[in-house]
Structure formats: structure tokens, C-alpha cells
Amino acid sequence: MRAFFSLLALCLLTSLSAQQVIITGILADGEPITATLISAVQGSGDRSPFEGQEITVEGIVVGDFQGGERVGFNGFFLQEEDADADADVLTSEGIWIFDENGGIDVKIGDRVQVSGTVEEDDGLTRIDATGNSESIMITARDQPLPTPAVLLLPINDPIDLEKIEGMYTSVMEDVVVTDLFGLARFGEFIVSNGERLTQFTECNEPDAAGFADFTVDQSQRQLTIDDGRGGDNNFPILIGGDREVSATNSFRSGTVLRGMIGVMDERFGGYRLQALDFTEAGGNDRPQSAPDLGGNITVVGMNVLNYFTTLGSRGADNAEEFARQEAKIVNAICELDADIIGLVEIENNGYGPNGALQQLIDAVSEKCGTTYQFVMAPQTGTDEIQVALIYIASVVEESGTAASLTEPAGVFNSSRVPVAQTFRIIEAGNSGLGEEVTVCVNHWKSKGGSCGAGDDDDGGAGSCDGSRTAAAVAIRDWLATNPTGTTDPDRLIIGDLNAYTEEAPITTLIEAGYVNAIRDQNEESSFPCGSVPSYVFRAGWGSLDHALASATLAAQLSGATAWQVNASEPTALDYDTRFNDPALYADDFYRFSDHNPIVVGIELDRSVSTTAPSTLPDARIGRIAPARFRLYGVPAGNDYFLADARGALLLTGSVTGETTDINATNYPAGVYFLAVRTADGRGRTFKVVRE
């Protein structure tokens, strides 16, 4: 393009048939130059009315993605100045300028005149200005930026994004990071309004119609945020301009982002905001230590993400990756310092010195001096991975006979074989000395693939829901037979059950009298429906990992939670070296798996226990003071009776609500029996110790 001799100070708007133009200048030979309004180029539909035509536009650069030191998209976004914006809300004022050669280095705030061909590229309207340097001309520097378009979530109609395509855009509310799956590879992440997105069946019973409506709502509540770089696996990871993600400066799901501003783009199959800036405003901060939940014993269920000593199989590909993986898992185990751990996704290669179990507990001992032993299960199944139990031998001992469930036939062909063992506290000075608890660790069939009609669920529970429900029924019935040979009713089911909280596998066990320890101990959780999520899949959060306590054990819980060190962290921080920058790895416990471990604190208490089989499975009792007890799970209007060790009746009363307190301060220290009876003859009896 020939150089300008002069520029008109006043722009004259005209209309040439269907093409709106603006006279912007005069060439040296006196010929007037006309530039088409960007809003006219964009039009009010999905495709430009100028497609295939050669035109000239002028505007302000609002997003520079030419490349330079960063891998860009070979172009920049141009937007009309406010004075030239039209009044049609359906026509965008911004457009993408593609310049493969990058001959002119523009900056945000430059006023630029561009000549080129209008094209549609996978939904994105653009002007191809690739050619000689005269296709692009900077006419002024450091101009005020146009007023940003306003974006609010949810986005009820894609037209709401189409009409601001290419425009400088402000997200006028706080948003929260809900997914980081594409952060390392593509420099993108997903945000939502309000809280992170949830899985439908985390908070709702499966229902096809409800699931369909929920899915639409979730899709409207999310927006992809991009880093303005082309290609993949670009390191360092940069977000929101020049904010660099590192092992010590992580970027976590659940983080609240405020004041986000960028340019609305459409590429890679959808709309996305090329973020220029935002402020991180807290939320889901990185935990610095393991949760301290009290109690006299701690039990953990943890997925170890295919910990394999056989290299090149499901886990580490080589010795370097194995060392990185093992260090993170070992650091987590040392930090948790749990007395009993149920492991999921550990290699099923025997109990010998070369097996994964022995390798892991030896590595823990070397790192932090804690000596674990493993439970030798009678059957581990034929899958490459198994579940396993390890324990600190100075705190607890195996008091039962370890049991594995392989029947009914077929139920655990696709799930890993569950293992149960009863443990007795032997640590001197422990307040629960001599008390026992049975722990059963599981890893049920995943939601991947299909198990066929009648097994798959279309209401949100997904594939193989029937298989997982059958596993729950089998576990329920098996544990009721006291498979380890002990009769103590305190039982804990842990592991990756691959079912969200309101799905049949979980509700089956709840209906049988088990208590969801996470929900029970986190009633004030800010996450939807009181959850403390353990896993994220396709931006939706929920709990696939569970701790389900028998009614008697639930009364002795001192706390339960998911330790938020894995699922919220970027995958770029894990052990895998195939795509990750080595500089992103740290010898710590963050992102040792894709599942958060479940931590349960228990105050095993000799002063409360069930003395006979119960016909009130929900009834349970806890001690709240040396001479005061609290009754749970008995419908109001029923009666309770307190008797001494000889059977003499001391106190009667009525259950008044969800909880009822019983005061034994008028009686001397000793053993008492508290019986609960309903009008239809059901009942439960507890042994209590008044101290």
C-alpha cells in the first residue's frame, strides 16, 4: 500500500449499497481510500457477507499473538474504535488478522490499517493479510483501547459469543478454575461461574431427564481460557499474560479468578477467551501438610496411579520415571503417617522382595523410618493391578484372618478382588489399646467402555453401574458374615469405588446402615451437597473414592476428608516425562496420583459398643463427655432405657429428634447398658462405660 500523504482529522461515514465504509485518508495521488467497518465484515450471522472479497479495515490492536519470543497464532485482533462502533448488538466490532509472514510487528494499542481477503477458518472470521509489508500499516501508536465487551456466565446461546468474536472482552464476575486437563499440552483451562462444575450423580439420584438438563446447564456455565500460543507442549506454561506455572507456583482447580480480560476467539472447534490478564483471588489453596483429624488411629485409602516395578507396563516407562513416581508416593505416605493404608492401583506381582508392595514399604522405611507391613491376601485376582493393605506394625497388629472375596462368580471379574482384615491396636499408651476395626479395601469396575444393556445407566451413573452395584451387594453380604473371623462390628469400606455419591453402589451400602464418612464429617462443606471431591473428569467434580463406616464405627469418627493434593493440581507436575518439562518436577507429594487420598480419623472407644444384632441399623451412639452419650439415627417418639450391669433399670426417656443426649452423671463410674426400642418391636442395645 502506498504511503499516506495526509490523514483526515474527521472521518466521514457513508454507505455504499450493502457495504458500510468509512473514509479514512487520501493517497499521495489524491485518490480517496475507504475502509470497511469491521462490524460490516463480521455481519450478524455465522459467516461474513464479505467472504472471498478483498477489503481494507482499520482499528485498534487489542490482542497481539504474532509470536516473537512466544509461539503465537501468526496474527492479531483488531477492533473498531468506540466512535466507529455500530449500534447492532449482533455484529462484532473485532476481527482476526492473519499474517503468516509477520512482516509488521504491531503492539496492543496501535491503530492499524489492514488490507486482505476475508475468510472463514473453522468458524472464525478473519482477514488474510499475508503478503508484502504494505498489507499492514500502523497509523498511530499508544491509542486508547476500545471499551471491552461484557461477558457473563452462563452462556445460554452461542450467539452471545459469536457477536463478540474478536473483541476485547471483560468477564464481569469472579469465575473458578474447574479443569486443567489441557493446561500442559495446549495452554488452556476451563472456568465456571459460582463453584466448580459437579458430576450429576454426586448430588442427584440417576435420572435420564434430569441428567440431560443438567448437562446443558453445565455446558453453559463453562468457558475455555487459552494462552494465545499455537502448537502444543509449550514450556514454560504461561497463563494470563506472563504468569508462569511451576512446581512451587502451581495453578490449581478451585482457584477463584477475578477481573479477567482478554479477546474472544473461535478456534480449535469452539469459542475461547485468549486471556490477557486476571487476578488470582484464593480458593482451594494448596495444602502444606496432611490433615490432622485426631483420633487414636488413622486409616487412609489412596490410589497410587499404577505403581509398577515392572517398567514399561501400566506405570513408569523407565527407571527415571519410576524414581520420580516413587518419590512422590513415598513422600505422601510419610506425610500422612497413617496407621492403616488401603492401596489401589499397585502392581499385582506378588509378595516377594521384588514385588511392588515390598518395594514401596522399603522405600517408605528408607525415607522416613516408618516401618509398614503388608497384609498377605489369600487371593489377589488375575488383573495386573490389585488392592492391598499395609499397616504400621508398632501401632496395630492383624487380629483376624485376612480374607479375599471372589464370590459370587463373575462379580469381581472386572473389579479387583477386595481384601479385608481386622486390626487390633497394640501401641502402648494408645487410648484405644486392644480395640479392633475391620478394613475392607476395594477397586470396582470403572465407567469406561460398556457392560451392555441392563448394566449401563443412562441417568448419569454411566457404564457398568449394574456391575458396581452387584459388587456393593456382595461386599455388604460378605462383611456381615465376619469373614476375618472377628465379631467386632466396627467396619470401614474404603477405596476407589468408581461410583459417585448418589449412585446405587453407594446408596446400597448406605441403606444397609453404612455411613458416608466424608459427608458425615463435612456437613458445612462449601462444595455442592456437602462433598469433598476426590476426582475430576471432563471438568466435573465428585467423589469416586469413599470411606463408608458401619454404624458403630461412625459414632467413633474423629474426622474424614479428601486430602486435596492431586486432582486439583496440573498433570504437568506429575512423574511422567513424555511431554512434561523436567523443570516442572519436584520431589514432593503433590500430584502423586490423579485421585485425592481419603483420610479417616477414628477414636476407637471401649466405652461404646453394640452387644447384640441390631434391628435398628441406623442407630448409633457416641460419647460426648465422660458421663454423657449422644444417640443418633433413631426416629423421634421412640424410647430408650439405661440399665446398670446387673440389669436394674435406672433411666428411661423418649427420643426427641435426630440426636438425643443421655446424661449419666447421677450414676457412679462403671459399665451400663443403653437399649433403644420402637413401638413395632425393633431395637438395639449398646454397652457404655461411664468414666
* Residue 318 sits in the same domain as residue 422: yes
Q: Which of 155-159, 306-310, 665-669 has the highest mean pLDDT?
A: 306-310
Last residue of a domain, one of 94, 117, 145: 145
Mean pLDDT of the chain: 91
288 within some domain: no
Is 4's pLDDT higher than 70?
no
**Model pLDDT for residues 123-163, shown as the tens digit of each residue:** 999 999 997 667 999 999 999 999 999 999 999 999 999 99
What is the predicted pLDDT for the residue at 606? Answer: 62
Residue 332: pLDDT over 80: yes
Task: Give the per-residue pLDDT at 15.
Answer: 38
Lowest mean pLDDT among 7-21, 159-173, 186-200, 251-265: 7-21
Residues 194 and 80 in one domain: no
Same domain for 492 and 395? yes
Residue 170 forms beta bridges with which residues? 150, 261
Q: Are residues 85 and 166 in the same domain?
A: no
- Both 493 and 582 in one domain: the answer is yes
- For residue 8, pLDDT beyond 90: no
CATH number at residue 578: 3.60.10.10
User: Would residue 285 count as lying in a domain?
Assistant: no
Share of the chain above pLDDT 90, in %: 74
pTM of the model: 0.86
Beta-carbon contacts of 662 under 8 Å, excluding residues fewer than 6 positions away, are 628, 629, 630, 631, 640, 642, 651, 653, 674
Domain count of the fold of the chain: 4
HSE-CB at 308 with a 13 A cutoff on CA atoms is 15
Q: Which residue has the higher pLDDT, 130 or 691?
A: 130
Residues 91 and 184 in one domain: no
Q: Which has the closest alpha carbon to 556: 290, 292, 297?
A: 297
Q: What are the pLDDT digits (tens) for 64-121?
A: 999 766 678 999 999 999 999 999 999 999 999 999 888 789 999 999 999 999 999 9
Does residue 290 form part of some domain? no
Tell me if 289 is assigned to some domain: no
Query: Does residue 313 belong to any structural domain of this protein?
Result: yes
Amino acid at 135: S
- Which residue has 504474532 as its cell numbers? 66
Task: Tell whether 572 is covered by a domain.
Answer: yes
pLDDT at 414: 74
- Quick one: pLDDT band at residue 682, thresholds 50, 70, 90? confident
More confident residue, 526 or 30: 526
Query: DSSP secondary structure string, 266-303?
Result: EETTEEEEEEEEEEE--SSPPPSS-----SSEEEEEEE
Residue finishing a domain among 109, 124, 145: 145
Q: Which range of residues forms the domain containing residue 223?
A: 150-280
What is the pLDDT, as a whole number, of residue 552?
A: 86
Is a pLDDT exceeding 70 seen at residue 685?
A: yes
What is d(CA 640, CA 387) in angstroms, rounded to the nearest whole number? 42
Query: Is 80 exceeded by the pLDDT of residue 382?
Result: yes
Which CATH number covers residue 39? 2.40.50.200
Residues 528 and 477 in one domain: yes
Mean pLDDT of 523-535: 91
Assigned domain for 64 exists: yes
Question: Is there a domain that residue 407 lies in?
Answer: yes
Q: Are residues 191 and 338 in the same domain?
A: no
Give the confidence band of 282 by pLDDT, cuts at 50, 70, 90: very high
pLDDT score of 18:
41
CB 602 within 8 A of CB 436: no
pLDDT at 11 exceeding the cut of 70: no
